[in-house]
Amino acid sequence: MKINDLPISALKPYENNPRNNENAIDAVANSIKNFGFKVPIVIDKDNVIICGHTRYCAALKLGLQNVPCIVADDLSPAQIKAFRLADNKVAELAKWDNVLLAAELDDLTVDFDMADFAFDTSEKRFKQQAWKKAEKYCDLKKKIKHHSHGGFFSTCFFEVGKKGTPISEIKENPANVPIFADCLTDYIWRTLGIDLVNGSWCIVTTPRRRHSEGFHFATEICKAAAISLKIPFYQDVFTAKNRNRINPEFSLAYLPQEHNIILFDDVISTGETIRVCRQLLIDAGKIALVVIGIKNSTSKK
């Protein structure tokens, strides 16, 4: 299959095109502007457009002089008509998985305004519906458990279940901070005891990825626990290079002077965030004690 760059002036829209593409032109133009012209226009041997009328209009809007094209000179006139209709129709058959879509859109809010590509990001109704469907619950009944994550261990205070309060609501409520801070303080005192007083311990938390300002549940828990434990809490030790849940990329923005570090996260799901952060500390010559507030059921046992 050969792709040719042709002058846009040489292309001819199909005069009986049954598809009204006007509402999609701006979104497609934004896609081309951000990502390049990655999908060629399909034309017949006379340069009449078979598939790609919206891309053609978007290219005109952007003032492009040439566009990539594929000449479908192996199709009969009947096949061309059928292909033109089928190409548009099959796209209507696909459905969004709102749970996965909400997660993908959430990951992109820093880097892209997805409203430019016709996603309704001004209304969060579909996101809220998706989150509700995927929501996990916790009854906040303390059950201290130790878990292996394929290379390190963590201690968790609570687990998800079918009853209780949605985790998202737990994390948004400042009134829940003392519950978690007390659990963390009690566990650390019982685990480390007199070792805390030698000045070699501090506490940090995983990086903010979606809320750079304002209330941050894990941060407030660490602040409260640090006061009770009489050890330093260092905020924003890690910097997020991206917002991915899988294979996240972080870097150390600040390296605590203390040799022993309590690494806390309010909720563990896949375990990737805590794993990467712990490894950064280990690579810097530190010892990391991993403590988690709530163990999500999707994390490794």
Residue 218 CB contacts under 8 Å (≥ 6 apart), including other chains: 205, 206, 264, 265, 266, 293
Cα 115 to the chain's mean position, in Å? 16
Q: What is the pLDDT of residues 104-159, one digit of tens each?
A: 777 676 677 888 888 876 655 555 555 455 668 899 999 999 988 778 899 999 99
Residues 6+ apart with CB under 8 A from 138: 158, 159, 160, 161, 164, 165, 167, 170, 294
User: Which pLDDT value is given to residue 122?
Assistant: 62
- 85-96 in b/e form (b: 16+ CB < 10 A) is eeebeeeeeeee
Q: Print pLDDT tens along the chain (301 aa).
A: 789 999 999 999 999 988 888 999 999 999 999 999 999 999 999 999 999 999 999 999 999 999 999 999 999 999 999 999 998 888 788 887 766 777 677 767 667 788 888 887 665 555 555 545 566 889 999 999 998 877 889 999 999 988 899 998 999 999 999 999 999 999 999 999 888 877 899 999 998 765 556 789 999 999 999 999 999 999 999 987 765 555 678 899 999 999 999 999 999 888 888 999 999 999 999 999 999 999 986 444 4
pLDDT at res. 266? 94
- The pLDDT value recorded for residue 99 is 65
The secondary structure of residue 214, as a DSSP letter, is: S
Which residues touch 220 (CB under 8 Å, ≥6 apart)?
174, 177, 181
pTM of the model: 0.58
User: What is the reported pLDDT for 102?
Assistant: 72
- pLDDT given at position 108: 73
Question: Tens of pLDDT along 52-75?
Answer: 999 999 999 999 999 999 999 999
pLDDT at 210: 55
